[in-house]
Amino acid sequence: MASSEIKSGALVTLQDLHPSSSYFKQGASLRVTGKLQDYSVETAIATIVDGSERLKINTQHLRELSFRVGSVYQFIGELLIQPDNEAVLQARVGRNVDGIDLNLYHQSLQLLRQFQVNHLKNPAV
């Protein structure tokens, strides 16, 4: 019987998602956070930004989440890498996180990674 285990989304910043990154893999389960720059109702594609980095999010499976340009959102899903090396996150979970301090969020993520490197033999567990 095939395993249908849903993997947790690895915490990443949009700056982490570049072709040479270990997170930039087809099907990688990721959690990303960014400000909504654009949303198309027709295609269900959202674009989030963080600094100068951007990522497209396919939101077709999300229900009852309203999108407001300028609001901050967090998505968990699988990374799909297009033939032109453009990444699109196929979101399975999304939430509005307006009010989050993105600078503090980035700092806490750096501290978490330091802890994992220093204290865990296998940080993926």
pTM, rounded to two decimals: 0.87
Alpha carbon distance 52, 63 (integer Å) = 29
Alpha helices, DSSP H, located in the chain: 102-119
pLDDT digits (tens, 9 = 90+) for 88-99: 999 999 999 999
Give 10-121's CATH code, choosing from 2.60.120.620, 1.10.340.30, 2.40.50.140, 3.30.450.20. Answer: 2.40.50.140
Residues 79 and 25 sit within 8 Å (Cβ to Cβ): yes
Beta strands 87-96 and 45-50, pairing class: unpaired
pLDDT per residue as tens digits for the range 63-110? 889 999 999 999 999 999 999 989 999 999 999 999 999 999 999 999
